[in-house]
Structure 1
Amino acid sequence: MNTFEQALQQELSQLKEGKNHRFLKSPPGKELLDVSSNDYLGLRDLPHLQKEFFEKHPDISLFPFSASSSRLLTGNHKEYLKTEELLATLFQREAALILNSGYHANTGILSALCHKDDLIIADKMVHASLIDGFRLASCDFVRFKHQDFKHLENLLQRHASTHKCIYVVTESIFSMDGDTTDLQALLALKKKYGFILYLDEAHAIGVRGDKGLGCAEEAQCLQAVDLIVGTFGKALASQGAYLICNQIVKDFLVNKMRSLIFTTGLPPVNVAWTYFILKQLSDFQNRRNHLQQITQNLRNELTKFSNFAVPGDSHIVPVVVGSNEQAENLSGYLQSKGIYALPIRHPTVPKGTARVRFTLHAGMEESQINLLIEALKAYEAGLE
């Protein structure tokens, strides 16, 4: 082992000692109840959806399985255009832009839009992809305390006169605490200070709103949010991401956004599947209602536990236990009971707040929720 590899091995050993070593995992088998995926609507494994897709596309073999180029060269297949048109229609906005992933979106949009005299102010708990995007931008960025809009206003007051343009960045549903942001409060501040609002709806698209368009639809403010980002790879059981914006923003990004310009596009066959799911998104209301019901049932039961903290108010239900080791222990115990729930550890979350996070999906039955509750009761009893 050379010096370079020895240094890597030393750092890996430190990660293992801190119970923070990561490795790639295979999907759980059918014998385990999976409460760690992002398949919130439970669409991924529905055979009738796949069957209907193939019936509607008898020419599917003619759809390219690779774009074979960036969208600015020869990769801009017609499926992109019709899906972007559908997105703009659904959101009642001027334009939409399809991107390869949420990571491509969040690292590319603000790094393209922001200039050196601008400022990004972001919630402390925004996703790592957004933080990487801030670092790539040519402007400064600061953070406000999680969901603390008084702190946000203090920062706006302090910086309003010193920066040309301010971008406020948040998520509608935060993946670590499972809490929902107060969009009306943010929009009141937007009206007062005139900033650009960037909203990441990755965990809300599909599961919130009457048509499944996310929390901005639910709050009736689709027109008021400047930049709405979401993914197809969670509740919509597909791949890729989107930006909802005005046409001039789209045109600018097509010219300036490096994570769009310098990458091969998504496979057109995949974009066709996304279009197929989007066309019937509003028809999944029963699945959204069921998801809300089982989430509320689980949260109601978890309030009775004394050894766990359960933050949030969404279908993402974290059980905070403390140390990385405690989170690993709970995860391992649940797996022994047939439940696949993975630990979320420091430094992904603050030290002392490691957790096991349950991401519920609409394909789950009440009996499975009860299985989870009984397993947690048994685990807690063993702590006392």
Structure 2
Amino acid sequence: MTKTGAEATDQKQGQDGTPRGSGKPVIEIDHVTKRFTDYVAVSDADFSIASGEFFSMLGPSGCGKTTTLRMIAGFETPTEGAIRLEGEDVSRVPPHKRNVNTVFQHYALFPHMSVWDNVAYGPRSLKHDKGEVKRRVDEMLDVVRLTDFAQRKPSQLSGGQQQRVALARALVNYPSALLLDEPLGALDLKLRHVMQFELKRIQREVGITFVYVTHDQEEALTMSDRIAVMNTGNVEQIGTPTEIYDRPSTVFVAGFIGQANLWHGTQTGRANRDFVEVEVLGSKLQARPGDTTIESGGQATLMVRPERVRVSIDAPTSGIVSVPATVTDLTFQGPVLRLQLAAADGSAILAHVGAEQELPMLRPGDQVHVGWLPEASLVLPAADIPTTEDLEEMLDDTP
């Protein structure tokens, strides 16, 4: 099989969410909307997925990610727009006539068949000769590292091994794309972490496009070439994991991906060529402008990741923006000290302090200075800031 995964990894994303590079689009979502009576599950989704790309759709319950996957698979039909597979409009083509396969959280392996026969089911159903069936099955069992388990029944395998059988069975007919709907959800935490790397390894080896649905930010960041972050039926942002994490385009994306300090403020003007000035936390601070233009005097939200926050007893040196703060709580978490602080205006600040900062022993009530480099901050359009409880509720509701 042609291995195009490395090509897709090197691609850059265009402003319209399409990948730039040598990988041709395999899946095109062309202004797709899906309604269920009066409920809009997906609203004007418009992006493409390249050959050999590991593409994740990430978001909380009800965001539209699974509905989008089901439309690609053919289990749902778009209300508006078109879905193209390798350039052909398949919007109303039934699932069994689309060259895609789907792996669900529950693997649905045939319990009475061996691993080898489970994987052989697809090429046998397509009437391939015995030699071709054997070549394909042996190749896939080698890819998923289950050659030595070929004669075992599914009940004799661990959860991770069963999942790899399901992957081999889905890949053995060389689909244009493999669709994965929360496939790690039934595994325990440690095995989930192992399988994240296994999935990415398998995808790179076979070179087939993977479209992965998850509500787990760590999974998406670990495995994906690009991520589409979705919320209430809308695609909020598409980008590489680095772009999504370091330069989110909205307050929702900033709050949903990892942890972030998000503070309401006012953009007061331009500080210099590289930075704008934002009035926030009771101070006027320089910050990196986001992609959305905000007029002088306009409301804005300032984002700083907690690991970029520096804490010191004395005021920091020049080049770092800083504000005085009071320690309100602290938790030791192995490699980092998690500090909760309050600025002079009462705003909460979260800092993840590594050993390299060499802080003295701190206690609640201690007065400190918190700061960060201006380029470590980002100004976003003003929006409601999701609370920790909001995000937990979104994830708890996710099936």
Q: Higher relative CO (CA 8 A, sep ≥ 6), structure 1 or 2? A: 1
Q: Give 1 or 2: higher strand fraction.
A: 2
Q: From the CA coordinates, give the structure whose radius of gyration is larger.
A: 2
Q: Same fold, TM exceeding 0.5?
A: no
Q: Tell me the TM-score range normalised by the shorter chain.
A: under 0.3
> What TM-score comes out, normalization by structure 2 length?
0.23
